[in-house]
Amino acid sequence: MRVIAGERKGMPLKAVNGNTTRPTTDKVKESLFNILGPFFDGGTVLDLFAGSGGLGIEALSRGMDKAIFIEKDSKAYQNLKENIEKCRYEDVTEAYRNDATRALKLLIKREIQADLIFLDPPYAKHSYYKMVEDIIANNVVTKDGIIVCEHDNQLVLPDQMATFTKYREEKYGSTIISFYRLEEEGE
């Protein structure tokens, strides 16, 4: 696992051994960021279920200003902190070892907004995708923001979540990535 592009291109990232997390492969990560637009002009990324932080760190490397990471697993959280330090992103990140549902409530209370949100829960935990509606209802995602959901190919996410529409879906083996954005009038 490594940073694919941007200011930290080629930087190796430490992943968790075992079954507790499922890192996004470099191939899928590269494709995902090519779809989003290869580089960003600032903004905040929220990486829920961050694991070792590969997606959020990639977004920082490609131009995001700030990242907020949420990870419950203690081993993954330790790797996340080491990866943030190795990439010298301590000053532009917040990392919390917390359950994503609890953390989201705290972010809502702080009125945090993100331009890009990654939602990649354990595949067996389908109920976590209901968080997208809370994210939208509480304006955690900006009006121009994008929500990216990584999920098992056995799970079909709806075309519409609140006011956000699935505008693209890509399959990579047993993984599907669904992209959501605010439905614009007249679409």
* Structural domains in the chain, sorted by start: 26-182 (3.40.50.150)
Beta pairing class for 93-97 and 66-71: parallel
Among the listed residues 76, 29, 27, the one whose alpha carbon sits nearest the alpha carbon of residue 49: 76
Quick check: 174 and 151 in contact, CB under 8 A?
Answer: no
- Predicted pLDDT at 16: 78
- Predicted pLDDT at 187: 47
- Predicted confidence pLDDT, tens digits, the chain (187 residues): 899 999 999 999 998 765 545 567 778 888 899 999 878 999 999 999 999 999 999 999 999 999 999 999 999 999 999 999 999 999 999 999 999 999 999 999 999 999 999 998 887 777 788 899 999 999 999 999 999 999 888 888 999 999 999 999 999 888 899 999 997 754 4
Rounded distance between C-alpha atoms, residue 60 and residue 83, angstroms: 12
